[in-house]
Structure 1
Amino acid sequence: MALSTVTLLSACISTPPTQFYVLEPLSEPPPSSTTTAEKKRQIGVGPVSIPTLLERKQIVTRLPDNSVKIAEFHQWASPLKDNVAQVLTHNLATLQTGDLIRAYPWSAYGTIDYRIIIDIIRFDTRPEQTVDFEANWAIMNEKNHTLLSHGRSKIAHPLNDPSYPAAVKALNKVLSEFSQELSQALGKIK
């Protein structure tokens, strides 16, 4: 009995601690912010969808043989979909200083002028290969429910460091680039 207790305790002691990660929004202000005296547009971000495979607390990594690795000891600190939506909303607020940007659901803030719907198809890494992001998006006029702009974004970056902190940093980078693409599309809508 004592031997099994010691074995059980030593197994618990050797378990590595769980590391938690969050995606971070842009911290830098836009290079040139132009504020106009016009009425600010109210823009809603969402809903944002992610693949079902990623709707878990563990970080998911794609392997070369089309299998996935689910990291039990490397986890998201909050639901990934919520964190992605929060980061995109913050990034767009940073990039679109002349607009009011609200996260879905925005009903507490009243009505919005435009809505950005985002369907993320890929948001993962392949260790020592790439970080991959792919999403369909649409900007809708909420007043008359018409499609103003839409697109498909595909972003990939080399990932030489197989560590989870490097993967999260690379995922932040692709979200920043995607935010800039959305900001440019919003800039074309008057």
Structure 2
Amino acid sequence: MTKLYTATTLLVILLSGCVGTPSVQFYVLETLSQAAPSPIPTDKQRLIGIGPISIPTLLEHQQIVTRSSDNTVQIAEFQQWASPLQDTLLQALTRNLSTLQPNNIVRAYPWSIHGTVDLQVIVDIVRFDTTPGESANLEANWTVKNEATHAVLKSGHSVINRPMADSSYPGTVKTLSKMLGEFSQELSSALMSVSTAH
């Protein structure tokens, strides 16, 4: 009887622990859905390759990372990206630029299975995070290259900061998504400006 009572008590404790554990919430970045502006006409349809994309080591966690005003960081154990952030950013940027460049074909790195591309967009993400109650920050270096000649056609440094109206994790992801959309528009403008350079 004592052994049965002990086993039953242990089972209740284990079940209680499971009930009290929060479930993990998974997030993806929203992509642009509005109609793209009329693109500048080009002589032919271009093949545009997005990537590779690099991110800081701090952001390689599956968990969402936020900063605090005292220079500490918070790694949210139960608020996570649905896939590694580097992959999530690559997919979202590719989809955004496909929307913004409707007359061209946009492919994500690596694209070798599909052949070559005309233009390659390399992105180095420096910051992609938020300080709850203060701001959201996106900082990136980028380069547009002619893939065949490896010539750099255009490069830049983008810095986007937005106030945090909603510091919840859904609000955080929404704000980061909007900033990525703005960054995508900057890249699209750069691509349009080199439309005859390759």
- Give the aligned residue type for 1:45: I
Look at both structures and tell me which one has the larger radius of gyration over its CA atoms. 2
Instruction: Report what 2:13 is aligned to.
Output: 7
1:4 Cα deviation from its structure 2 partner: 4.4
| Whole-Å separation in 2 of the counterparts to 1:112 and 1:91 | 18
Q: Deviation digits for residues 15-61 of structure 1, max 9, x if unmatched?
A: 1111110012111121334555x321111100001111111211111
TM-score, normalisation: structure 1: 0.94
Q: Secondary structure at the match of 2:18?
A: helix
* Aligned match of 1:165: 170
1:155 paired with 2:177, answer no
Mapped pair 1:66 → 2:71: yes
Identity of aligned residues (%): 56
Question: CA shift at 1:78, angstroms?
Answer: 1.0
> In the alignment, which residue of structure 1 is the partner of 2:38?
32
Equivalent position to 1:81, from 65, 73, 86: 86
**Which residue of 1 is the match for residue 144 of structure 2?**
139
2:178 partner amino acid: K
Q: CA deviation at 1:135?
A: 0.3
The TM-score normalised by the length of structure 2 is 0.91
Which residue of structure 1 aligns with residue 3 of structure 2? Answer: none
**Alpha-carbon shift at residue 74 of structure 1 (Å):** 0.6
Deviation string, structure 1 residues 92-129 (Cα, Å, up to 9, x no partner): 11111222111100111111111100000100011111
Q: CA deviation at 1:178?
A: 0.2
Q: Secondary structure at the match of 2:22?
A: coil
Unaligned runs of 5+ in 1: none
Give the 4+ runs in structure 1 shifted more than 3 A: 1-5, 33-36
Give distance in 1, aligned partners of 2:27 and 2:48. 28
Whether the 8 Å CA contact 2:65–2:74 is kept in 1: the answer is yes
Say what the alpha-carbon RMSD is for the aligned residues.
Answer: 1.4
Report SS of the residue matched to 1:128: coil
